[in-house]
Amino acid sequence: MSVFIIAEIGVNHNGDLNLAKQMILEAKKVGVDAVKFQSFKADNLVSKNAKKAEYQIKNTGIEESQYNMIKKLELTEEDHIYLKNICDIEGIKFLSSPFDVESAKLLLSLGIDIVKIPSGEITNLPYLEEIGKLYTNIIISTGMSNLDEVKEAINILNKYGEKNITVLHCNTEYPTPMEDVNLLAIKTMKEELNLPIGYSDHTDGIEVAIGAVAIGVTVIEKHFTLDRNMKGPDHKASLEPKELKQMVDSIRNIEKALGNGIKVPSKSEQKNIVIARKSIVAKCNINKGDKFTKNNITIKRPGDGLSPMKWYEVLGQVAKRDFIADERIEL
């Protein structure tokens, strides 16, 4: 099964529907499976006096509050309908992360059957309960959490019937320092949770996402922008279209390269076996009746004769005919 690749537009549309549409079209062009937005009501999400995160201050300044920054990035119900219709026309899946129950219900009413729980809600008990009641197909990010918190969130979701849950390893720092990525946590979660594990990548570049595919994730999510120089909280930690295409192409190549895990000669290399391997051959001219010894036989390419693995079976036997130098030995 192919890795499901999500281009997270998030709030990188800057509140501009034309920009959001252009981003959907670009994401489709480079071959991702889905685009993801963020659905929220600022009044439900953040207190008026809440401080910005360090990366938000760095990217947007300190002049406005987190509430005012978020308020400008809200999508209305009509905006959701418009953007989902574009995705439907283009044949790309529309996803969104609801940050409150009202937004989760809106997404469900629009026929969006997969919900993406953002990292910040993993300890939001009432929210998790409502998501568990509403949705069967759930993706949950696990930034800032430990394994016990992840397990507890999954248990809450499953209280309301068994779910199809995919858990995304994630680090909620933008950009994530390489030493904080901890890709091996993916293996731990696969063993401990027995669920599909994906990776939501906030590092600079594309190599970590590709490395996660090699470990065996089923989903990759990566922030996407048309221009990292745009003003906004997440543009700086996002990929531009050429980079996103490079990531998608690289992931598809890694999928092919992973293969089926069975160690046998591949179709492409079978023709090289005879050329690259060696056979037991005459080191010099050998007369009929001579014994084969280390002095008169040796090992050389090609590998179309007796395998060198039969070396000790050949030593001490008697030549049944004459051999010239470099001729394949026959018993």
- Kindly report, residue by residue over 291-331, the tens digit of the pLDDT: 999 999 999 999 999 999 999 999 999 999 999 999 999 99
CA 129 to chain centre: 28
Structural domain ending residue among the three candidates 238, 258, 278: 258
| Residues 285 and 198 both lie in one domain | no
Length of the chain: 331
Q: Are residues 236 and 290 in the same domain?
A: no
Residue 302, preceding peptide bond in cis (omega within 30° of 0): yes
Q: Which pLDDT band holds residue 233 (cuts at 50, 70, 90)? A: confident
Residue 276: give its domain's CATH number: 3.90.1210.10
Domain of 162, CATH number, reads: 3.20.20.70
Domain containing residue 291? 264-331
On whether both 42 and 89 belong to a single domain, the answer is yes
Q: What pLDDT was estimated at residue 253?
A: 97
Q: Are residues 188 and 313 in the same domain?
A: no
Q: Residues near 194 by Cβ (< 8 Å), separated by ≥ 6?
A: none
Mean pLDDT of the chain: 95
Six-digit token string for 245: 């295409």
Give the lowest-confidence range in 46-50, 120-124, 224-228: 46-50
Q: Which of 68, 129, 85 is nearest to 104 (CA)?
A: 129
310 plus 162 within the same structural domain: no
**Distances from the Cα of 241 to the Cαs of 22, 24, 164, 238, 275, in angstroms?**
11, 11, 31, 10, 44
252 to 5, 30, 77, 232: CA distances (angstroms)? 10, 12, 35, 30
**116 with 238, same domain?**
yes
CA pair distance 161, 144, nearest whole angstrom: 26
CB atoms < 10 A from the CB of 250, how many? 15
- 184 and 329 in a single domain? The answer is no
The better pLDDT of the pair 191, 231 is held by 191
Same structural domain, 42 and 93: yes
Alpha carbon 281 to its chain centroid, in Å, reads 50
Give φ, ψ of 145 to 5 degrees.
-115, 160
Please indicate, yes or no, whether residues 199 and 292 belong to a single structural domain of this protein.
no
Contact 94, 271 (CB under 8 A): no
What distance in Å separates the CA atoms of residue 266 and residue 256, rounded to the nearest whole number?
13
Residue 57 pLDDT exceeds 80: no
Last residue of a domain, one of 233, 258, 283: 258
- Report how many domains make up the chain: 2
pTM of the model: 0.89
Domain boundary among 197, 223, 258: 258
Same domain, 202 and 318: no
Q: Are residues 203 and 157 in the same domain?
A: yes
Q: Within this chain, do residues 142 and 287 fall inside the same structural domain, yes or no?
A: no
